Copies of this chain bind each other. A is one copy, B any other.
Amino acid sequence: MTTAFETTARLLITCPDRPGIVAAVSAFMFAHGANITELDQHSTDPSGGRFFMRLEFQTPDLDMSRDALRQAFAREVADRFGMDWHISYAADRQRMAILVSRHDHALMELLWRWQRGELPVDIPVVISNHDDLRAEVERFGVRFEHVPIDAATHADAEARMLDLLGEREGALPDLIVLARYMRILSASFVERMPNRIINIHHSFLPAFVGADPYRQASERGVKLIGATAHYVTSDLDQGPIIEQDTARVSHRHEIDDLRHLGRDLERQVLARAVRWHVEDRVIVDGNKTIVFA
């Protein structure tokens, strides 16, 4: 469907399921000149289940301001159905920060797609615990900050990172991507940005948790390797899965071949997950995701 990107808005809704939700929402939108161009919904169970909806609508014929729309929707629809909801406007580009360590493949894939216009975000900063990738990043015109971190300095380093991320000014990014960032974020850091930090796990979860997953895969003689993109929670690598994929391998693949293939998988899986997040296609439901892709 061909629509002007700049005039597109999205409404995401989660609420208890009951009859009449679609009718109420769509009548509201129609009444106020919001032209629905995409609608996805999902219900876990029509009686007693939860209901999820994503609407894309066009804004040129809206009969009120953004603020007024928000207030009217709350008053006329959302409160009545007990909805968690939010509206976002494609023209308001999300701010996406990236944390990275030494492996550059996931980072490069994101910067590259961003540069080509495939990822409609602003990138305020890339932060790394190593200085290795500075030139790579700055070449894209993106700010790079080196924040060394070790066990002793962990708390200070995270405080420094939060500063760089704009917390003091109340301007934490909309999204942080861990593009092979090999340090564990503290619970206090993670809880500041629930369902707004995406990690790429170098394995098909649940599987091969821990160090050197490709060595584990090789030793187990698997015929497939995988990668998983998920939201970060304080429960390490157990957060809601956004996207996964696998690639076929055989006895001919040495551990280094698995690593290469794994990197290619990680690039693709992370790129898809980030795009879906940025386009407001992901709703988190407990420890699972609804992805309206």
Q: Is A92 on the interface with B (CB-CB < 8 A)?
A: no
Closest-CB distance, A251 to chain B (whole angstroms): 5
Establish whether residues B241 and A223, one from each chain, have CB atoms under 8 Å apart when the complex forms. yes
Establish whether residues B38 and A43, one from each chain, have CB atoms under 8 Å apart when the complex forms. yes
Contact of A46 among B22, B35, B240 (CB under 8 A): B35
Establish whether residues B220 and A287, one from each chain, have CB atoms under 8 Å apart when the complex forms. yes
Q: Bound complex: CA of A48 vs CA of B43, how far in Å?
A: 31
Contact of A291 among B22, B45, B250, B289 (CB under 8 A): B250
User: Contacts of A35 on B, CB cut-off 8 Å?
Assistant: 19, 46
Q: Is A146 on the interface with B (CB-CB < 8 A)?
A: no
User: Count of A residues near B, CB < 8 Å?
Assistant: 66
User: Contacts of A41 on B, CB cut-off 8 Å?
Assistant: 38-39
Q: Bound complex: CA of A208 vs CA of B279, how far in Å?
A: 31
Q: Is A85 on the interface with B (CB-CB < 8 A)?
A: no
Establish whether residues B3 and A46, one from each chain, have CB atoms under 8 Å apart when the complex forms. yes
Q: Bound complex: CA of A111 vs CA of B291, how far in Å?
A: 33
What is the interface of chain A mostly: helix, strand, loop, or mixed? mixed
User: Contacts of A29 on B, CB cut-off 8 Å?
Assistant: 23
User: Contacts of A58 on B, CB cut-off 8 Å?
Assistant: 46
Q: Is A166 on the interface with B (CB-CB < 8 A)?
A: no
Closest-CB distance, A50 to chain B (whole angstroms): 10
Q: Is A266 on the interface with B (CB-CB < 8 A)?
A: no
User: Contacts of A251 on B, CB cut-off 8 Å?
Assistant: 42, 288-291
Copies of this chain per assembly: 4
Interface residue ranges of A73-106 to B (CB < 8 Å)? 104-105
Establish whether residues A260 and B206, one from each chain, have CB atoms under 8 Å apart when the complex forms. no
Closest to A230 in B: B221
Closest to A275 in B: B260
Closest to A34 in B: B19
Closest to A241 in B: B221
Closest-CB distance, A198 to chain B (whole angstroms): 14
Closest-CB distance, A254 to chain B (whole angstroms): 6
Establish whether residues A206 and B224, one from each chain, have CB atoms under 8 Å apart when the complex forms. no
Given contacts A20-B30, A35-B19, contact A221 B108 (CB under 8 A): no
Q: Bound complex: CA of A90 vs CA of B38, how far in Å?
A: 26
Beyond the given pairs A108-B112, A220-B241, 5 more chain A to chain B contacts, judged by CB atoms under 8 angstroms and listed by A's residue number, are A1-B49, A22-B30, A139-B139, A204-B207, A219-B288
Interface residues of A (CB under 8 A from B): 1-3, 19-20, 22-23, 26-27, 29-30, 33, 35-46, 49, 58, 61, 104-105, 108, 112, 116, 118, 139, 204-208, 219-224, 226, 240-246, 250-252, 254, 260, 264, 268, 287-291, 293
Q: Which 4 interchain pairs have the tightest Cβ spacing?
A: A221-B288, A23-B26, A23-B30, A22-B26
